[in-house]
Amino acid sequence: MRVYLLGNPVLANTMFEYRPEIGHYAPVRASVFEDQSGVAHFTYDRPSILFMHFQNDEVTAIGRLLHNRMSRLAER
């Protein structure tokens, strides 16, 4: 398994300004692994879910944006 930290420093800095504790969740973690059957998997934290509990509209909007980007990456 390989674990990656994926992020955009500009978006991260914007979120940190609203809620510094978001640093625990940003950048987004993703992993790639092969199961016992030899099938490759790409998994990632869902930013829209992680960020919405901060109850900040700007942070939630960025979480949705990042979630959409991660979804598109996963589809590729």
pLDDT digits (tens, 9 = 90+) for 11-58: 888 888 988 998 888 889 999 999 999 999 999 999 999 898 899 999
Residues 6+ apart with CB under 8 A from 51: 15, 22, 25, 59, 60, 62, 63, 66
Full set of structural domains in the chain with CATH = 2-75 (3.30.310.70)
User: Quick one: CA torsion of 73, 24, 11, 72, rounded to 10 degrees?
Assistant: 10
- Amino acid occupying residue 29: R
The pLDDT confidence band at residue 69, using thresholds 50, 70 and 90, is: very high
Q: Which strand (E) or helix (H) includes residue 70?
A: helix 57-75
What local confidence, expressed as pLDDT, does residue 38 receive? Answer: 96
Query: Which of 29, 22, 4, 5 lies closest to 62 in space, CA to CA?
Result: 22
